[in-house]
A and B are shown apart, each in its own frame.
Chain A
Amino acid sequence: MAGGVTPLQGGMLPDTIAGLLPFGGLAADVVASLLGAFLIANFLLINTAFAGPWAKRKITAAFTDRIAVNRIGPFGLFVIVADAVRLLSKELIIPEGADRPAWDLGPLLIPFSALLGFAVIPMGSGLQLADPETGLAFAFAASSIASLGLIMMGYASNNKYSLLGGLRAVASNIAYEIPLIVTGISVVLFTGTLQMSAIVEAQRTALVSVAGVTIPQWFAFVNPFAFALFVVANVAEVGRNPFDIPEAPTEIVAGYQTEYSSVYFVLIYLGEFIHIFLGGAIAATLFLGGPAGPGPAALGIVWFTAKIWAFFLLTQWLRSAVPRLRVDQFIEIGWKGMLVLSFANLVLTAVIVGVITTL
């Protein structure tokens, strides 16, 4: 399948790095893979560092007529450093009766599952770790591992609020992951493949060309309905307003993360932000042409970053503007609304694809 991929966009990152190494063979492959993973992970962590302590505050402040962090460094950017020091130097409080290995593993699973998902995402400018034929399935599977972490945290904390949060998290993930994946499959019907680079490639051709302006065949334009469904399910999947039921600060304190402090708290938050970015990345890959955008293909990473940040911005906007649903309403919308709509969308897409192919 890699045949149709242009050199700049294709060529996995480890291959590129291996080519630059002074030695070859298996050692080069291993070192290059590790270096590549290191680079991608750091890229995301840097994004998260901006998103968490700084951008989130700034965006929320803008929505609520405030100024927010502006004291340390330009635009208050150094607050990232200050916050990192503050959070990491806090005491790690371990509740009595915590189920230890599980309690410690939960916060680790969340960021790493989200990072794992990024392994198959084509981020443009030649930044992609691997491109298996089952790429999309892998991305969904990796991001779902987080649910395991959530229920571990909820159960192992020995706290009723955590337990409620963990149960809510699992209920919401099950209810919304199915519509999410079924909607994702409707894209696969168009492309005929699960491979991420091929899905991006399929969106490169022009949909329509009006007065010199070419609108590419992004699936968001081809099937806006599926895109809307996907975004909604995605917001629920990453647990943001109006679907932030698992955390629901005013109801169950902080849900599964009630008992976590210090490093673990940082890990959980890190994981949640990477998860938002992963949600954005999958949406961008499936519906928004991945790293595609005007200008030379080398700018791919810029466009890709812009798209995942756009999704981040959307979650923050919702957080500031939309009330939270009640847990039963939330589950009801998932099973009775989203699931039905996503299957309807699948059937509709299948019909459209059938019509196109017979023409």
Chain B
Amino acid sequence: MSLEDPEPDAPARVEERSPDELAELLGDDIIDREQHLNAPGYVIRPDAVQDVLSTLRTDAGYDHLSCVTAQEYEDRYESVYHLRKFDDPTQEVSVVVPADRESPVSESAEPVFRTADWHEREAYDLVGIEYDDHPDLRRILLPETWQGHPLAKDYDQDRPQVVPLRENANPLQEDTRSEQDADTMFLNIGPHHPATHGVLHLKTTLDGEQVADVESDIGYLHRCEEQMCQNGTYRHQIMPYPDRWDYISAGMLNEWSYARAAEDLADIDVPEYAQVIRTMCAEMSRIAAHLLAVGTFALDVYGDFTAIFMYAIRDREKMQNLLEDISGQRLMFNYFRLGGVVWDLPEPREEFFEKVRDFLEEFPTALEEYHDLISSNEILQMRTVDTGVLPPEVAKNYGATGPVARGSGVDYDLRRDDPYGYYDELDWDVVTDDGCDNYSRLFVRLREMEESAKIIEQCVDLLEGWPEDDRTIQSNVPRTLKPDDDTEIYRAVEAAKGELGIYIRSDGTDTPARFRIRSPCFSNLQTLPEMAEGEYVPDLVAALGSLDIVLGEVDR
């Protein structure tokens, strides 16, 4: 593959081609054209997926397979590959692959984009499309013994999942050794292990203390979030769910992902005042989430409940108090509404602004303390520099986003590259680091908090001076939202962990026909074997910590 030597004609990659030019490029593989709200859609032959995607990737520069959505129509199955460019994520293309109703099979995109591996496994698991040429097409979220595909139309929810004991006997009981090498030891890390940050199960093969092979087993926290969203009405019933994906205080950021997709779908305007509030709240969430990420990473590396973890929790607590003042909640904020936010900032406003300013004033000192304790600690540097290396091209191939990609030097941040909210009016920088190792990812998070603090400060300045008669917190939104029939949209925001995307297809009713969540943790976690194989167990743990996954978002 051309991974090692990227195309020399870099400027050509950012240049946008018109939909017709793209259609010409793809030629006979296209059988139909569609128009999604975010991008042109090309319906292609089910056996030409690899050709089309690699053409789009190498010739047109669409190097980021953001998401794969699978869905079932009355007459066919469909896989939608949402492609965009790392250099300019506003350039998007949807590749639609129909599959036969009776035997839904289409070609796998895994050989072109590694990230398609898990996405297609999920599509197979939940919807039931089979992918030809996929290296490892197994269920991913549901147990191996599951009968049926829950998001398929003919799925019978009431049918009990009876599994005979012998089939469901503990699959981990056997000591699985690698066949080529009898000197290795198989070790289950998790689902209950101090370092897995939740119920993640890593099947590791150890050679001495070195990791010869690692495979993540996810799905322990699968809560049917997509289906629950499909059963909820756009206007009010979906918004509480995003809080429960990445529940590490990043709720506001998640809510924004749904708000952005649904607002663009139903063509709802958001008042500028509400956008500023949203921007401020989102950055507050980001600081809280990053603080926990830094604290737990230190915990993973330091080993005990050390000072740094408690310090991070202490500062996060201050942020939580602010978020509680705003939304009335500490974890499940449910503060955003389509067309704005639920209520204005807390009264008395001066007192609230004072609190935020107090935090912002103390925060640089706190950050300096973190740098003293963590990033400039020599033992920590020994542990993290040049371990868990993720080269930028590999990161892109796996669809890694957020601090994980930025720690690998991939300059990709949707807040700047695909502006939403009030970000493009504010003065802040995207933080990247070329180290590609555990240390860079930690360092990027620490630096990003500085930038978030800058954004919050500017928002507070704006909000303080906002004229009182212009404080519209919500635009007029119909009580029942019924977007046009067969409208499709994929929209993403920069959440704490990376690109959190939502795909919605409406069918003219007040609930989505398909609601797909592109979780950044899901894609980021896929990179773990790349980082950990060949390293020691402690580095596997550090790499996992530096990915900062939340299983609630991985499993949804």
Binding site for B on A (CB under 8 A): 60, 63-66, 160-161, 164, 241-242, 244, 248-253, 319-329
Contact = CB atoms under 8 A, between A and B. Distances in A.
Interface string B302-337: 111111011100100000000000000000000000
B541 interface: yes
B326 to A, nearest CB: 26
Interface of B: 185, 187, 193-195, 209, 298-307, 309-311, 314, 373, 377, 379-380, 382-383, 536-539, 541
B169 to A, nearest CB: 15
Given A241-B303, A321-B373, A323-B377, 15 more contacts: A63-B306, A64-B306, A64-B309, A64-B310, A65-B314, A160-B187, A164-B209, A250-B299, A250-B300, A251-B538, A320-B306, A323-B298, A323-B379, A323-B383, A327-B538
Contact of A328 (B195, B373, B379, B536): B536
B195 A250 contact: yes
A327 B377 contact: no
Given A325-B383, A326-B536, A326-B539, A65 B311 contact: yes
B308 to A, nearest CB: 9
Contact of A250 (B185, B187, B303): B303
Nearest to B302: A323
B400 to A, nearest CB: 23
A43 to B, nearest CB: 28
Contacts of A320: 304, 306-307
A250 B195 CA distance: 5
B209 A65 contact: no
B307 to A, nearest CB: 5
Given A160-B187, A321-B306, A64 B311 contact: yes
B382 A60 contact: no
Contact of A241 (B193, B304, B538): B304
Contacts of A252: 537
A244 B304 contact: yes
A320 B311 CA distance: 12
A257 to B, nearest CB: 14
A323 B380 contact: yes
Nearest to A316: B304
Instruction: Tell me which of A64, A250, A324 has the highest count of chain B C-beta atoms within 10 A of its own C-beta.
Output: A250
A326 B383 contact: yes
B311 A244 contact: no
B307 A248 contact: no
Contacts of B301: 250, 323-324
Contact of B195 (A64, A65, A66, A251): A251
B194 A250 contact: yes
A160 B185 contact: yes
B311 A327 contact: no
A321 B307 contact: yes
B302 A324 contact: yes
Given A242-B379, A253-B194, A248 B311 contact: no
5 contacts: A241-B303, A244-B303, A250-B300, A250-B303, A250-B541
A319 B537 contact: no
Contacts of B311: 64-65
A330 to B, nearest CB: 10
Contact of A64 (B305, B379, B380): B305
Contacts of A248: 303, 538
A336 to B, nearest CB: 14
A321 B311 CA distance: 12
A63 B307 contact: yes
Nearest to A240: B304
Nearest to B300: A250
B382 A64 contact: no
B141 to A, nearest CB: 26
Contacts of B314: 65
B531 to A, nearest CB: 15
B387 to A, nearest CB: 8
A62 to B, nearest CB: 10
Nearest to B306: A320
A63 B314 CA distance: 13
B102 to A, nearest CB: 47
A323 B307 contact: no
Contacts of B298: 323
Contacts of A324: 301-303, 379, 383, 538
Contacts of B383: 323-326, 329
B375 to A, nearest CB: 12
Contacts of B185: 160
A66 B314 CA distance: 10
B307 A329 contact: no
B66 to A, nearest CB: 32
Nearest to B304: A319
B300 A319 contact: no
A244 B306 CA distance: 13
Nearest to A61: B310
Contacts of A325: 379, 382-383
A111 B309 CA distance: 31
Given A164-B209, A251-B538, A327-B536, A65 B303 contact: no
A329 B301 CA distance: 14
> Which 3 pairs, one residue from A and one from B, show the smallest C-beta to C-beta distance?
A64-B310, A324-B303, A250-B195
Given A60-B305, A160-B187, A244-B304, A66 B379 contact: no
Contacts of A323: 298, 301-303, 306, 377, 379-380, 383
A312 B529 CA distance: 40
Contacts of B303: 241, 244, 248-251, 323-324
Contacts of B302: 241, 322-324
A241 to B, nearest CB: 6
Contacts of A319: 304, 306
